Amino acid sequence: MSSESLLDRLAILADAAKYDASCASSGTAKRNSKGGKGIGSTEGMGICHAYAPDGRCISLLKILLTNHCVFDCHYCINRKSSNVRRAKFTPQEVVDLTLAFYRRNYIEGLFLSSGIVKNSSHTMEQLIEVARILREEHDFRGYIHLKTIPEAEPELIHRAGLYADRVSINVELPTVAGLTRLAPDKSAATIEGAMKGLKHDIIAAKDERKRFKSAPAFAPAGQSTQMIVGADAATDAQIVGKASALYDRFRLRRVYYSAFSPIPDASAVLPLRRPPLIREHRLYQSDWLMRFYDYTPAEVQAAAGDDGMLPLDIDPKLAWALKFRERFPVDVNRAPRELLLRVPGLGVRAVDAILASRRHRRLRLEDVGRLTVSIAKLRPFLVAADWRPTLLTDRQDLRALVAPPAKSEQLELFAA
Ligand code: SF4
């Protein structure tokens, strides 16, 4: 048993879990109220947010079972050669913490991951034990996200899905070469094999439940993964291609992108600086384009420059429109939904509102302007009842005209 108090270990293991991006709050600016100024902080850890299968945003206790690890992934603060304070919980301690936080209404579920102790199967058994005690001994109905260890016995990975709402296996790096170099104990084939097994189990359980209502659920919130961005030389085009292949092959609910962040005592094979956070944001936008705007991976990749990198100063949808100007302008009163979704500045909700309103009347530019953050961004790309751009798409300075001022980045987040 560890000599550290439970609270000390909670501080260590909640902090160690913050590097996992599989919660929705990564990417924001760092702010805190240390020194008595202001109130609140974006830097706290321990509780993160995720979306439940019904779309609700829920708060989760996000911790590691232990930050001891026998693996030596270069990018990870918990790798065996890292000089960090180590701690571990027993499964029962994690259960007690989860229930205590839950009863106080701090959380609606648990996000549990772990470094690898002894071996992968032993660690997986410990993670499963937490979920088992919660579900079987306490009838815990809250949300459970279990990180799953790909090197563990397949039977154990299967058991994780019987208790967890969501399971995830980190693919870690976008390329096999990057994984081999930076995570020498891991294998791309093993990771993908485990993801394939989960996909199979999720589909089989869904089919079974259609036939028998009493059939056990298996990871009803599906599986997700995380890719580290900027720790190796992979380009955005490669990352987009990898994400798309993962969605297709393993029916993932989400791919999370985590900008590599330099850690204390970093390995010499890592870059010295983290990539700009906006790069992570652009990748999330490109992911959004593929999942909700019907862009093919090749189209998103075409928005990148010759170096394979997405522009940082404009979003990928605008970058694509500027490159393929011949596809515009789009007539807001006649174009089908898929073409309207290509107009920079028009989000899914705005397009649906346009389709509903134009059944009753012809829309003017002003009507469309009410549905979007920036009419300036839209104007060159659409035709309305009272508006037709004149040769705007041929203008050399179009990019400068429609690029957002640097400070409007936050507003732009997923607006289109
Ligand atoms: S397996 Fe690798 S990424 Fe996971 S905790 Fe250990 S060193 Fe970190």
Q: For residue 369, give Cα distances in angstroms to 140, 315, 319, 345, 366.
A: 48, 19, 21, 10, 5
Q: What is the pLDDT of residues 361-387, one digit of tens each?
A: 999 999 999 988 878 888 899 999 999
Specify the residue with its C-alpha closest to ligand 1, atom 1: 71
Q: Say whether 229 sits in a helix, a strand or coil.
A: strand
- What's the CA gap between 404 and 314, in Å, rounded? 7
**Residues 416, 293 contacting (CB under 8 angstroms):** no
Q: Say whether 226 sits in a helix, a strand or coil.
A: strand
Rounded to 5°, the CA angle 178-278-252 comes to 55
Here the tokens at position 127 are 């993670």
Q: What is the pLDDT of residues 329-343, one digit of tens each?
A: 999 999 999 999 999
Q: Say whether 189 sits in a helix, a strand or coil.
A: helix
Q: Which of 65, 68, 76 to mutate to test the pocket of ligand 1 (most atoms within 8 A of CB)?
A: 76
**Residue 2 Cα to ligand 1 middle (Å):** 21
- What's the CA gap between 183 and 199, in Å, rounded? 24
pTM: 0.86
Q: Which of 13, 69, 81, 267 to mutate to test the pocket of ligand 1 (most atoms within 8 A of CB)?
A: 69
pLDDT band at 250 (very low <50, low <70, confident <90, very high): very high
pLDDT at 398: 79
Specify the residue with its C-alpha closest to ligand 1, atom 2: 73
CB within 8 Å of 174: residues ≥ 6 apart: 227, 229, 232, 234, 238, 239, 242
DSSP strand pairing (143-147 vs 57-64): unpaired
Q: Left (φ > 0), alpha (ψ -120 to 50) or beta: where does 177 sit?
A: alpha
For residue 49, the cross-strand partners are 59
**Residues 232, 173 contacting (CB under 8 angstroms):** yes
Specify the residue with its C-alpha closest to ligand 1, atom 5: 115
Mean pLDDT of 255-283: 86
User: Is the predicted pLDDT of residue 27 greater than 50, yes or no?
Assistant: no
Around ligand 1, the residues with Cβ closer than 6 Å are: 69, 71, 73, 76, 78-79, 115-116
pLDDT at 260: 87
**Residues 301, 244 contacting (CB under 8 angstroms):** no
- What's the CA gap between 343 and 416, in Å, rounded? 8
User: Residue by residue, what is the 3-state secondary structure of 291-316?
Assistant: HHCCCCHHHHHHCCCCCCCCCCCCCH
- What's the CA gap between 294 and 320, in Å, rounded? 13
Q: What is the pLDDT of residues 197-233, one digit of tens each?
A: 999 999 999 999 999 989 999 999 999 999 999 999 9
Q: What is the pLDDT of residues 385-415, one digit of tens each?
A: 999 987 655 677 778 877 877 654 444 444 4
**Residue 203 Cα to ligand 1 middle (Å):** 29
How many CA atoms lie less than 13 Å away from 199 in the CB half-sphere? Answer: 16
Q: Which of 15, 20, 67, 71 to mutate to test the pocket of ligand 1 (most atoms within 8 A of CB)?
A: 71
Whether the CA torsion 9, 11, 14, 18 is positive or negative: it is negative
**Residues 138, 109 contacting (CB under 8 angstroms):** no
pLDDT at 29: 42
Q: Of 45-49, 71-75, 160-164, 379-383, which range is least confident?
A: 45-49
Residue appearing with tokens 């993670």: 127
Chain-centre distance for alpha carbon 249? 18
- What's the CA gap between 327 and 393, in Å, rounded? 10
Phi and psi at residue 345, in whole multiples of 5°? Answer: 95, -15
- The H or E element that residue 58 is part of is strand 57-64
